[in-house]
Structure 1
Amino acid sequence: MKKRTLWAWGVAFICFVVLMIVTPAIPQPQEYHDFADQREFFGIPNTLNVVSNFPFLVIGVIGLVLCFYKNYFKLSLQGELWGWTGFFIGVAAVGVGSSYYHLNPDDARLVWDRLPMTIAFTSIMAIFIIERIDEQKGTVSIIPLLLAGVISILYWRLFDDLRPYAIVQFVPCIVIPLMAILLPPMYTHSTYWLWAAGFYLLAKIGEAMDKVIYKWTHQIVSGHTLKHLCAAMVPVFLTLMLAKRTVETNRISLLKTWKVSWTKAESREYTYTTVQPEDSRTH
């Protein structure tokens, strides 16, 4: 491993330690388990919050199969295959783990909701490093990132402190859209990353407004149920991206592409025809 890479990991670790020292612990609030929609249908407790996780299982299994079925996604790099495999395993496991949690929400079951999500988040981070920074560094980072995710869950359960888990969850939410915009892509259809990020943002809004949305919709659907459906659109868009994309021959960042488009729009010249007035002089 190069010295610069070691320095980067060292700086990241020091920043993490400083953050843990200067910030107070964040315990798991128990009111988190008090969801707006607690209706039961067909003998299933919290029915809509349970069944709305089914799309995760479907798209996770589809993506996992396509990763290996005749190399449908054309994953030419070994690290990519490992990263996307981890991502789709995490997505499929969310469908199972989150359903299990919502049948009887409590801290113990919440582990099986959050653990698959950390696998998906950390796998995506490794994929982005492979595609946008360096293949070898990204491949090497897969295991450490996965371990960081698992450790963040264990730390929360042992010490009732959500800080490491919050970092694992929210850092990719900030870094990935920035990397998608600022760094040149290896493949086409890079804007699908931004669509995925947009749906994840909608999911977090739905989660935060669980009870409000339930009231607005006259108790038809809650914000948390909509959160599941919006979040499931993230792997849907990424699966579509994998199916459509090709190797980018002209690697230009989205930001530069947008700048070029804006410059062309601003510099577009319009040609006007000058109409000569008729000679009104009397001959």
Structure 2
Amino acid sequence: MHTMWKGSIQFGLVNIPIKMHAATEDKDVSFRSLHHKCHTPIKYEKVCPVCEEKVGKDDLVKGYETTNGDFIVLKEEELKELKREVEDRAVEIIDFIHIDEIDPIYFNRSYYLGPNEGGKKAYALLREALLETKKVGLAKIMIRSKEQLAVLRVYNNTLLMETLHYPDEIRNAKDVPNVPEKEKVVKKELDTAKLLIDQLTTPFEPEKYVDEYREKLLALIEAKKEGKEVVSAKKPAKKDNVTDLMEALQASIDKNKKKTTRKKTTAKKKATS
């Protein structure tokens, strides 16, 4: 597993040398833009629209755009000095909290933390303390020129760091248009909806969920690679005979009951055979 950051965890006077690894990976299928005529990958060049010149890396400076369209230019040396003032290569735990106090909207990205040389004992101590207290560490860390808020918790016997959005990065839900303030809910509809939820409630098993689009896309690419003709069976048009909310809920429950009955019948036949 690639090490993307080295530093330490600090809480109180305890210092734990660690290595950080990405806990997730992007599985999206990526494409290159090709010239239709010759299938050559297209290059994207930086060009100044005023000077009409190609711009190299050494010709670029950082600029912060103001509300009136002007720019405040920041020198690379100024940014490096500012970064040095807040970056000490440490995950500093500033508080310990219960994780259920954090709404999931705050979570951003996940990273595995493994002990570096000489850090195994202190690493195991922090891990056990978090498990025993059923708490997580709230920390700050500098990643890619941005100070991140993060939580440290135990996942599968490994310390996991999850970066958090700051409160001012969360958009106000009240700004979402057309959200009803208060709607009168018919009790019969509510009871039926709750029944449907109960029927569809199941233990979370992430392995059974797959990206169907990505699988089909990769199958299409593989078929083209092997020179096969790709055909798709036509699906029958859906019959739209559900006219209101109550009918939709009841239809869903009836459909789910049939599935459950078939599963029980199949299981019973297997048990008696």
Q: Which TM-score tier does this pair reach, normalised by the shorter chain?
A: under 0.3
- More strand by proportion, 1 or 2? 2
- More helix by proportion, 1 or 2? 1
Q: TM-score normalised to the size of structure 2?
A: 0.19
